[in-house]
């Protein structure tokens, strides 16, 4: 139930991220379109001068017409400048889009990381990797190395293989796989003993790594923050 | 037949003579870059703004000019006062 709701939440989160990024891109695309529509086009000044020329019947002398042409020319030069401004603004808009998209992505990543941190804090330890090394008789949980006996390694391997196949083994089945006999002929208690031994060896070492640290030639120390110790 | 065409020519001739010379002043432009000019032209046939427009449009278009408007039509009396303003476009088209 909790895992299904978790995946559901993740799906909803992904949808929100996609929607948010789409909204950002859409808003900035609309802004870009408005920018290109609203800026006066290069011909606006010429049209203005032309209208001035047509509407005033007494603007006919050569000098006046030359002046109007110069006016139109400077307007055109200014509109060229505007076009370059428009390009610069457009580039800035693209930058803004990229930054906003990155910001949203990072925000979501931060939230996800926070949730994961919270889960790790609650669980105490989260296994990110489990490596079984048969020849060194050791198992690596995250960065911790645990030395195990042959029997414990055997039990752990069987459990790991079963886990990879999504199988649940009874004590008798474990004993059967390890001893090579038929599971029906095996005792349930024998398997339970194997599990208990594995738990003992692994559990004791894990506790010693997590809680009681052994500093060579000095002694033992609690490997936890002072503030979390409480006496009742 | 011959007499008919001859009389027709005579008629045409008489109408052109009877009509006083007709001129129009106009404004025209060229795009990219914007160039403007004010000019005076002679109107053939009907002496009206409308006929001046239709005649001018084609003549100006040949040289890449676009007619903006015709200000009005006038006869010989108004020719001199517009000569200076029209400059190189005085009776050019």
Structure token digits, residue A166: 């999504």
Task: Identify the three-state secondary structure at position A182.
Answer: coil
Domain count, chain A: 2
Confidence tier at A127 by pLDDT (50, 70, 90): low
Residue with tokens 């030639």: A217
Interface test with B, best of A45, A49, A53 (most B CBs within 10 A): A53
Give the distance from CA A74 to its chain's centroid: 53
Measured CA to CA, the distance from residue A102 to residue A119 in angstroms comes to 26
Q: Are residues A84 and A28 in the same domain?
A: yes
Contact across the interface for A69 and B35, Cβ inside 8 Å: yes
Note whether B29 contacts A: Cβ–Cβ < 8 A. Answer: yes
Provide the number of CB pairs (under 8 Å) joining chain A to chain B. Answer: 43
What radius of gyration, in Å, describes the C-alpha atoms of chain A?
Answer: 37
Residues A59-102 pLDDT 10s: 888 888 888 888 888 888 887 888 888 889 889 988 998 998 89
pLDDT in tens, A25-40: 898 889 888 888 877 6
User: What is the three-class DSSP state of B49?
Assistant: helix
Give the pair of three-digit tokens for residue A75: 């307007």
Chain A hits for B66, Cβ within 8 Å: none
A151-180 core/surface letters (b: 16 or more CB in 10 A; e: else) = ebbbbbebbeeeeeeeeebebbbbbbbbee
* Weakest-pLDDT range from A65-74, A159-168, B23-32: A159-168
Tell me the domain boundaries of chain B.
21-89
What phi and psi values does residue A148 have, to the nearest 5 degrees?
Answer: -125, 160
Together in a domain, A198 and A85: no
Distance CA A141, CA A100 (A): 39
Residues A164 and A108 in one domain: no
The arrangement of strands across the sheet holding B22-30 comes to B35-43, B22-30, B66-74
Q: Interface pTM (ipTM) of the complex?
A: 0.70
Retrieve residue B15's tokens: 């109408």
CB contact under 8 A, A76 and B31: no
Domain boundary among A58, A88, A123: A123
The answer on A138 and A90 residing in a single domain is no
A157 shares a domain with A110: no
pLDDT digits 0-9 by tens, B47-67? 888 888 988 888 888 888 999
User: Is residue A27 domain-shared with residue A92, that is, in the same domain?
Assistant: yes
Q: What is the domain range of residue A107?
A: 2-123
**Single residue among A107, A123, A139 that ends a domain in this structure:** A123
């Amino acid at each position: 139930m909790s895992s299904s709701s978790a995946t559901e939440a993740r799906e909803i989160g992904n949808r929100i991220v996609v929607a948010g990024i789409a909204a950002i891109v859409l808003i900035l695309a609309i802004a870009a379109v408005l920018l290109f529509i609203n800026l006066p086009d290069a011909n606006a000044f010429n049209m203005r001068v032309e209208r001035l020329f047509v509407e005033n019947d007494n603007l006919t002398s050569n000098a006046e017409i030359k002046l109007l042409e110069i006016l139109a020319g400077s307007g055109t030069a200014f509109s060229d400048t505007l076009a370059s401004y428009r390009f610069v603004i457009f580039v800035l808009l693209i930058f803004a889009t990229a930054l906003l998209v990155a910001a949203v992505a990072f925000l979501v990543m931060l939230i996800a990381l926070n949730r994961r941190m919270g889960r790790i804090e609650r669980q105490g330890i989260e296994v990110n990797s489990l490596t079984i090394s048969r020849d060194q008789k050791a198992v690596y949980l995250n960065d911790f190395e645990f030395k195990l006996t042959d029997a414990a390694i055997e039990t752990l391997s069987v459990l790991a293989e079963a886990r990879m196949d999504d199988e649940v083994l009874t004590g008798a089945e474990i004993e059967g796989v390890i001893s090579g006999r038929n599971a029906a002929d095996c005792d349930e208690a024998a398997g339970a003993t194997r599990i208990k031994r594995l738990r003992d060896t692994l559990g004791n070492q894990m506790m010693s790594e997590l809680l009681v640290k052994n500093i060579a030639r000095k002694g033992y120390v609690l490997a936890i923050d002072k503030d979390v110790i409480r006496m009742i | 037949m011959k007499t008919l065409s001859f009389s027709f020519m005579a008629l045409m001739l008489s109408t052109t003579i009877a009509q006083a010379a007709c001129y129009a002043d106009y404004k025209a432009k060229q795009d990219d870059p914007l160039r403007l000019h004010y000019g005076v032209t002679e109107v053939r046939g009907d002496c009206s703004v409308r006929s001046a427009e239709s005649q001018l449009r084609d003549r100006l278009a040949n040289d890449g000019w676009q007619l903006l408007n015709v200000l009005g039509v006038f006869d010989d009396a108004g020719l001199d006062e517009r000569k200076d303003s029209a400059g190189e476009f005085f009776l050019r088209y």
